[in-house]
Structure 1
């Protein structure tokens, strides 16, 4: 039976060693609510975008604590989440015709969880500066309430 250690923090404790310094994004870090917000949509047309968050590109979001909740937004309404130029980088075509919620990380490979945002988005290199996350309305005009809470650590 093998004893296995996580690569972000656990390996620092392997063999009973005294813990090495690790990134506070992974151990004993303090995540914060980076944005908690809401919007009332009234026949918002296809391709309208809701700005969810603007943060530094190296921000680490908590995939377990980043979600969008919504009313029934209308028949055929779907949602994409991503960035300008790649509005489906996080998820695409999420049906929002009935009330529900969706994790911002719905379509993000679990191997990319707890990485800096630029890597989560699949960018080839850190662009530096800020990244704006957008929720894009697709399928049909949307009417209803959308709320979101995004938690993580700006670095």
Structure 2
């Protein structure tokens, strides 16, 4: 039914932080609006698929926003189970504003590993070259040996 169709809106690539007024805000992010979906059929794997379509395979957490309250600090709720989906569904169906629901993505921050941890550039020995290692490992077959193939 058309009245059950809502637009998923993803906020991603940014960060949640306090603005100059001390209120929470989502800064430096992107917004992606998807085609409307039947809100009664939305599940967490569907939302994760949409996130994957944006190129993200991992995330720290998903938050949904209750649009009926203007203050971001009290309206962001963790979305991690069917119970969270049901809570979100109830809030957005009872909201008299736009037929959309907003998901905020908190991204995993990977800690870079310095290249020096993988390759010892200072302590390499010329005898460790590719050619010498190959020559050492290769031994020709004994004379008179025939390949079974």
Which interval holds the TM-score relative to the shorter structure?
0.3 to 0.5
Structure 2 length as normaliser, TM-score? 0.32
| Higher Cα radius of gyration | 2
- Between Structure 1 and Structure 2, the one with more helix by share is 2
- Between Structure 1 and Structure 2, the one with more strand by share is 1
Structure 1 length as normaliser, TM-score? 0.31
For CA contacts below 8 A with separation 6 or more, give which structure has more relative contact order. Answer: 1
